[in-house]
Chains A and B, each alone.
Chain A
Amino acid sequence: MSLAETPPVKVKADRNGLTLVPDPAATFEAITAFMDERLAQSRDFFYETQMVLDLRIRPMRTDEISALCEKLYKKSKVKVVEVRLSDDLSFSVEGDPRKPPVPKRDGREPGNSAPVIVRNTCRSGVRIVSPSDCLVLGDVNPGAEIIAQGDVVVFGTLRGLAHAGAGGERAARIWALSIRPNQIRIADLVAVPPRGEKPAPNRYEVAEIQNEVIQVITI
């Protein structure tokens, strides 16, 4: 390997450990061959270390990531403890690795972004902002805010603030097992719950815009 070429993988060392940064121009085969060589050359240095794989500038498919991690472990018991990914995961799952990542566009594109999933109750003071849909597996307590460009789905009781269609999408909806919020917003409309008790929902409730007003449908 001459000095004129950039190596397929940069091995960076900082006080937290070693980070592998693959070069965007490198093929997967070049990357694995390079790592093979480095591990063979500096066997003791790399043996049983922990490494971080930074794939933000040169993403890889999931099967490639697994193959690389396995190889590193097999060769020198190197454990990949973290894989850093860019914000756009679309071609990690299905794309051609040599294609550059799809640039982010304004506005929501139907069906290409996975929802942000929050796997616990959102306590007061928590603020979740999602560029797509947002799914909360738990309650949203008063004082918590869920803001999504798409739909908001709460698998629990919504007592805090939910804002669906935050970018202006009026077809967005808010779903919850029980909607008893401080305030809900869809696109540019705001609604507060009516005074007084209301009957408990049997299964779930949906809030959507009907006739220019936010309505909550109880099912």
Chain B
Amino acid sequence: MAGKTIVVTSGKGGVGKTTTVANLGTTLAKKKYSVVMIDTDIGLRNLDVVMGLENRIVYNLVDVIEGKCRKEQAMIRDRKLSNLFIIPAAQTREKNSINPEQMKELCSSLAAEFDYVMIDCPAGIEQGFKNAIAGADNALVVTTPEVSAIRDADRVIGLLEAAMLKDISLIINRLNAKMVKKGDMMSTEDIISLLSVPLLGVVPESDEVVVSTNRGVPLVHEKGSKAGAAFRRIAARLNGENLPPEESESNGFFGRMKRLIWN
């Protein structure tokens, strides 16, 4: 059976797409699934840095699509997990070096060999975005609880629906529960009522993310990280497992989350 192709997109930059792809991909690989992650942010590649595999890049996505190498030659195996691969983007090329049809072809051929194909989408809604969503059947929209990010997420969801990508889920990243309680930050409920897509999970704000990026080791490798635990739960839900919603300090929050996630 063909694997799932999932694009992680957001519209707004810097909300956590690459971090999400790295951590979800790693978690799924730890569960023994074969995973390949594709960085489609040509010219501004980041996934290789976050995964700590920068020095190992010989071929990249554009080389594969132009036929300069086979896709196996471009796939870099993760240092810790033998069933996790990444196809890095090209840093010295531009986003119009590839087109949606070519991405679609590549993603189908990868889906035939892997359980999960995770596509890291660049910010924006232009050529890079169009390339990234072309090969995907499912979409994860990442947003932070902040007005501009939500505006952009709404736009992106509209574009995904227009492109007939019906399976869209939401991840709310960098939620600061204290600020929500104080009323300084939008709550999960506010966000869902505007965006109207099912919520896959919430990742709390965490300083550890920056540290893990700098080190090149995805957060989910560490025990005892709240953000890491959130990513692990999201990966489980992605995999079809029915997990109960996250706990939190306030009861009201728990009650609302329960209703939202069980939908």
Q: Which of B154, B159, B196 contacts A143 (CB 8 A)?
A: B154
Query: Is B158 an interface residue when CB atoms closer than 8 A count as contact?
Result: yes
Which of A125, A142, A159 is within 8 Å of B158, CB to CB?
Answer: A125
Counting CB contacts under 8 A, is B194 at the interface?
Answer: yes
Quick check: A141 and B159 within 8 Å, CB to CB? no
Interface size of B by CB at 8 A reads 10
Q: In whole Å, how far is B123's beta carbon from the nearest beta carbon of chain A?
A: 16
A126 contacts B by Cβ under 8 Å: yes
Flag if B196 contacts A125 (CB, 8 Å): no
- B157 CB–A CB distance under 8 Å: yes
1/0 per residue, CB under 8 A from B, across A72-115: the answer is 00000000000000000000000000000000000000000000
Output the least CB separation between B2 and chain A (Å). Answer: 30
- Scan B144-176; emit 1 where CB is below 8 A from any A CB, else 0: 000000011011011101000000000000000
Please determine whether A142 and B196 come into contact, CB atoms closer than 8 angstroms.
no
| A123 on the B face (CB < 8 A) | yes
Asked if A124 is an interface residue, CB under 8 A from chain B, the answer is yes
A121 at the interface (CB under 8 A from B): yes
A121→B196 contact, CB < 8 A: yes
Residues of B within 8 A of A142 (CB): 151, 154
What is the CA–CA distance of A123 and B163 in the complex, to the nearest angstrom? 14
Residue among A125, A142, A159 having the largest count of chain B Cβ atoms under 10 Å: A125
Instruction: Determine if A123 and B158 form an interchain contact, defined as CB atoms under 8 angstroms apart.
Output: yes
What residue of chain A has the Cβ atom nearest to residue B158's Cβ? A123
Chain A nearest CB, measured from B40 CB (Å):
21
A67 → chain B, closest Cβ, in Å? Answer: 35
Q: Nearest-CB distance from B186 to chain A (Å)? A: 13
Q: Smallest CB–CB gap between A10 and chain B, Å?
A: 33
Cβ–Cβ contact B155 & A123, under 8 A: yes
Shortest beta-carbon distance, B215 to chain A, in Å?
Answer: 37
Do the beta carbons of A143 and B151 come within 8 Å of each other?
yes
Nearest A residue to B160 via CB reads A123
A-B CB proximity, top 5 nearest: A123-B158, A124-B154, A124-B155, A125-B155, A123-B154
Instruction: Enumerate chain A interface residues (CB-CB to B < 8 A).
Output: 121, 123-126, 139, 141-143, 159
Residues of chain B touching chain A, judged by Cβ–Cβ distance below 8 Å, are 151-152, 154-155, 157-159, 161, 194, 196
Contacts beyond the supplied A124-B151, A124-B154: 8 A-B pairs with Cβ under 8 Å: A121-B196, A123-B157, A123-B158, A124-B158, A125-B158, A126-B158, A141-B194, A143-B151
10 A-B pairs in the complex with CB atoms less than 8 angstroms apart: A123-B157, A124-B151, A124-B152, A125-B154, A125-B159, A139-B194, A142-B154, A143-B154, A143-B155, A159-B194
